[in-house]
Amino acid sequence: MADSYRDVIAEKYNERVRKNPQYSLRAFARDLEMSSSRLSEILNRKQGLSLATAKSISKKLNLSKSHSDYFCELVMIEHSRSKQRRKQAAERLGFLKEQILVQHVQIDAFEMIANWYHLPILEMTHLENFQSNPNWVATQLGITTVEAEEGIERLQRLGFLAIENGKYISISPKTQVRSPSEKRSEGLKKYHLQMIQKGMKQIEKPLNPNRDISTLVVSLKASQFSEFKEMLSEFRRSMAQKCDNQPEKDQVYCLSMQFFPLTDE
């Protein structure tokens, strides 16, 4: 987390530049409703911020409540004239940092589940021709470079991916995404829908010997469903283990299963 409010401002500016390389510091200053010269002086430590201005900037940066409080306390710890207020700011920063880190983990975990490309990024690290480069990852998966960068950073924060000597290394066990038995996850529903949509796009493409799309319709006793479900689970585990043991991998595949009643329950 940022240790200076100036770092927060700079980070938000860089985020916008990554999304739009044409975005300038002058445009950023305009969005913050201040002159570009003043913004430059703030970033270069030639000017500071008042609490009122800090609150105004946090709103324009669309910071969440906890992030806004954190930003304002960073301003207070540096610019408050009261020694007691600076001490309070330092104490509150510790609490806010812990709170924000918990929120980040929760959001990161949801985003990892909800966006289909996170698990493929992990699998790609096992390919013989893998390149530890967000642009290459984006091109291979058909996503934007920004999505690839954010996905890689998120996998790092969650402990699924490490970077050693510039090389991406998957440090997670083989991951299967399944719907929970008790409570449905909105993230999982989004993930499964995305994978089903990718399967639908494959149907529209020319025949490919390295693709299999098939459907089996059967009748059975509803009481037998759990038995067949376990068979499918065992097949997924067996396939995952066999794929893990294969050398010289050159492609990432998706196996997506749906097993559901067609008649009224």
Q: What is the DSSP string of 120-167?
A: HHHHHTTBTT----HHHHHHHHT--HHHHHHHHHHHHHTTSEEEETTE
Amino acid 102: pLDDT: 52
- Would you state the structure tokens that stand for residue 153, as one six-digit string? 């950073």
Q: How far, rounded to the nearest angstrom, does the alpha carbon of residue 97 sit from its chain's CA centroid?
A: 20
Residue 177 pLDDT level (bands cut at 50, 70, 90): very low
- The neighbour count for residue 12, using CB atoms within 10 Å, is 20
Work out the widest C-alpha separation in the chain, in whole angstroms: 77
The domain made up of 5-108 is a member of CATH 1.10.260: yes
Instruction: Using CB atoms within 10 Å of the CB of residue 119, give its burial: 0 to 12 exposed, 13 to 18 middle, 19+ buried.
Output: buried
> What is the Cα–Cα distance from 6 to 11, expressed in whole angstroms?
8
> What is the Cα–Cα distance from 21 to 27, expressed in whole angstroms?
12
Domain positions in the chain: 5-108, 115-177+184-265
Given a contact cutoff of 8 angstroms between Cβ atoms, the answer to whether 66 and 99 are in contact is: yes
Residue 126 pLDDT level (bands cut at 50, 70, 90): very high
> Of 79-88, 110-119, 181-190, where does the model show the most confidence?
79-88
Query: Please, what is the average pLDDT of the chain?
Result: 86
pTM above 0.75, yes or no: no
For helices 145-157 and 134-141, angle between their N-to-C axes, nearest 10 degrees: 110
* CA angle centred on 187, ends 200 and 194, rounded to 5°: 10
Given a contact cutoff of 8 angstroms between Cβ atoms, the answer to whether 70 and 93 are in contact is: yes
Beta-carbon contacts of residue 67 (< 8 Å; ≥ 6 apart): 58, 100
> What is the Cα–Cα distance from 59 to 258, expressed in whole angstroms?
44
55-59, 108-112, 185-189, 230-234: the lowest-pLDDT one: 108-112
20-34, 135-149, 152-166: the lowest-pLDDT one: 152-166
Mean pLDDT, range 79-95, rounded to an integer? 87
> What is the Cα–Cα distance from 9 to 29, expressed in whole angstroms?
11
Residue range 214-258, pLDDT digits in tens: 999 999 999 999 899 989 988 988 888 888 888 889 999 999 999
Mean pLDDT, range 70-82, rounded to an integer? 91
53-67, 178-192, 195-209: the lowest-pLDDT one: 178-192
